[in-house]
Amino acid sequence: MTINIEFDPTWGEELSDRFQKDGPWGNWELYKLAIEMEKHFIIPEFEGLQAPQHLANLKPLPHQLEVAKQVIEKMNGKAILADEVGLGKTIEAGLILKEYMIRKLVKKVLILVPASLVSQWAFELNTKFHIPAVAQKKSYVWDQFDCVVSSIDTAKRSPHREKIYEQNYDLVIIDEAHKLKNHKTKNYEFVQNLKKKFCLLLTATPIQNRIDEIFHLVSLLKPGHLGSQTGFIEKYKSGDRNIKDDKHLNELVNKVMIRNRRADTGIEWTKRHVKTVLIDFNKEERDLYNAIDVLKGNQDYAANVGFTMMTLQREACSSREAVYYTLKNMLKKRENPTPEFEEKIQFLIKKIEAVKQNSKAEKTLELIKEINDKVIIFTEYRATQLYLQWFLKQHGITSVPFRGGFKRGKKDWMKELFQKHTQVLIATEAGGEGINLQFCHHMINFDLPWNPMRLEQRIGRVHRLGQEEDVHIYNFATKNTVEDHILKLLYEKINLFERVIGELDDILTRLEFGKLENHLKDIFQHSNSEGEMKIKMENLTEMIQFAETMKKREEDSLHAAGGNSSIS
């Protein structure tokens, strides 16, 4: 077999030169030192990790070291790192990157992360890994620096995009890679056209509901590993078929993906204390909530009326401001509203005006005072966020807002303000992802999202590695509302809040019925009586419980067979 052998000619040329000129010559002691030093950098084996001995200040956990080793030795440096939230995927990626840099297999590195995490990634790589990573600020960083951290939204735009394509990257790391599951997006296309010699995709939720999502993710990393596009779609026509159905597919995915679960790591986690706080509407709030029924049977909406009502009802459980905002938008969108429609909206606005107090906000205030420590409040609605900030301020409590739409610098600043100066951070859903707040251990869910995965993400912000205290979670639900139902009939029944992060994801993917959220909407919209709704909810929870039993059985048999599958 022929192998290319490259002999570096530069040293020899200069030797001849110096020999002619008789010098300058080095010092014997330094000469010997240089050899000793080089011998320390000689890595005689293809296998094994060198990085840990270069990282005096970092104590990687056993599972993190194992991941790094496996990615380099078994997966050839292309992998989906899919540990559950909070197990330290960043550390794993850092170890792999460091190892490649030490072995001089990687020089140019591109790291694409959510905007809110750019500074944090750069900071961690510099401090924990001694990797001179820079956060992208001006376009010139692309060719000036070897290791750049950027948000994907910046990177994909001109002129950055063109600059990036000109670079010759050795390693591309993408955090929160589940956002790339849709192959029709610009982000996907951008990443697809990046040259990826080595590539790490980081995600805590690799498989959500549809089987083609994992196909697209894997195809970014290793095109063809799961077959061709047409071939794959042909084979798995129903998009929401369960990946677990196909043992072969499962095996293939495991070749490019590593997933550790909390339970496997043997790490002691701090406790999670979950408390449901039931709130009574005051009279005016109840009036508003009930008044939303007037929209029922309105011909103006046709198919959408159920959905709109549901949204408004959920908003009514949060704040009157949230309801008002949606109503205003509804009115604006309609070009020629019928007088009947306008009348109904006006009627609701009257009801809003009648509401003088927000019962949840009152309770929140009471709780914050009682806790007397840092608190994160999560809400689904921006209007509620603004209201809460104002409301708390009235009572002498300062808070900072946090939203997905904030620019990176602002996010960092808000986090900093929260850590150093204010007691409360109020985050909307989009702000829930990609910010680590383990210095805080009280969390209020002011209202509840319908996607349980989003709840997990919220909890994962605080209950993660590095959290040294027990975490307290307070779930607010207004009595006798949709919110109450979803909390009691679903989240509590399936023990959502007690679960380790990531487990639910796994269970839900076992169910062949598509998005859970759609089922919930269906139940609430099409049930004619409360009794019917409860029965339907019960069916749903039973399905989930059934899937859980199945999962447990599978795992038991796997363990019995001595098998070790990283995704089941």
Partner 1 sequence: MQQEEIHQYLERYFAANDCEILENQPGFLTVQLTIDMDKELMNRPFYWHYLEKTGGIPNPAKLTIITDKNNTPDDVKGEMIHFGAPRLHQIFQSTKKLAGYIRLFEDSKVLQNQQRPLYPWLGVNIKISYQCDRKRDVFRSFGLNMINGGLVENFQDYLQTKRLTPKIPDLCFTLSPIIMPKSGLHRIETFLKQEILDEDHEWAEQARRRWEEDLALLDHFYEDLEEKPESYQIEKEALREQYEPVIKIEIINGGIFYLTQPIVK
Given the DSSP bridges, would you call strands 399-402 and 471-478 parallel, antiparallel or unpaired?
A: unpaired
Q: Which is nearer to partner 1, 3 or 560 (CB)?
A: 3
Instruction: Choose which of 104, 107, 334, 526 interacts with partner 1 (CB under 8 A).
Output: 104
In single-letter form, the type of residue at position 518 comes to N
Per the CB < 8 A criterion, the answer to whether 449 and 380 are in contact is: yes
Structure tokens, 334: 């309609």
Among 107, 137, 157, 195, binds partner 1 (CB under 8 A): 195
Comparing CB distances to partner 1, the nearer of 27 and 529 is 27
In the block, which residue shows the tokens 């139940």? Answer: 523
Tokens standing for residue 279: 């709130």
Buried b (16+ CB within 10 A) or exposed e, 412-424: bebbeebeeebbb
Helices (H), 395-438: 408-420
Distance CA 235, CA 246 (A): 11
Q: 130 vs 534, which CB is nearer to partner 1?
A: 130
Q: Which one, 166 or 335, has the nearer CB to partner 1?
A: 166
**Residue whose C-alpha is closest to residue 484's, from 430, 432, 532, 534:** 534
Residues 2-21 touching partner 1, rule: CB under 8 A, are 3-8, 11-12, 14-16, 18-19
Nearer to partner 1, 32 or 186 (CB): 32
- Using CB under 8 A as the binding rule, the residues of this chain from 136 to 175 that contact partner 1 are 170
Tell me how far, at minimum, the Cβ of 101 lies from partner 1, in Å: 10
Which one of 23-31, 179-187, 289-297, 499-507 is the stretch in contact with partner 1 (CB under 8 A)? 23-31
200-259: contacts with partner 1 (CB under 8 A) = 219, 222-225, 227-231
Q: What is the 3-state secondary structure (H, E, C) of 64-80?
A: HHHHHHHHHHCCCCEEE
* Residues within window 381-440 making contact with partner 1, judged by CB under 8 A: none
Binding of residue 36 to partner 1 (CB under 8 A): yes
| 47-86 binders of partner 1 (CB under 8 A) | 47, 53-57, 72-73, 76-78
Which residues from 431-490 bind partner 1, rule CB under 8 A? none
- Please say which residue, 67 or 507, places its beta carbon nearer to partner 1: 67
* Kind plus residue range of the DSSP H or E element containing 110: strand 109-113
Backbone angles phi and psi of 432, in degrees to 5: -70, -25
**Contact between 27 and partner 1 (CB under 8 A)?**
yes
Q: Which of 214/292 has CB closer to partner 1?
A: 214
3-class state of residue 118 by DSSP:
helix
Under the criterion CB under 8 A, does residue 30 sit at the interface with partner 1?
A: yes
SS3 291: helix
Binding segment (CB under 8 A) for partner 1, from list 103-111, 260-268, 450-458, 466-474: 103-111
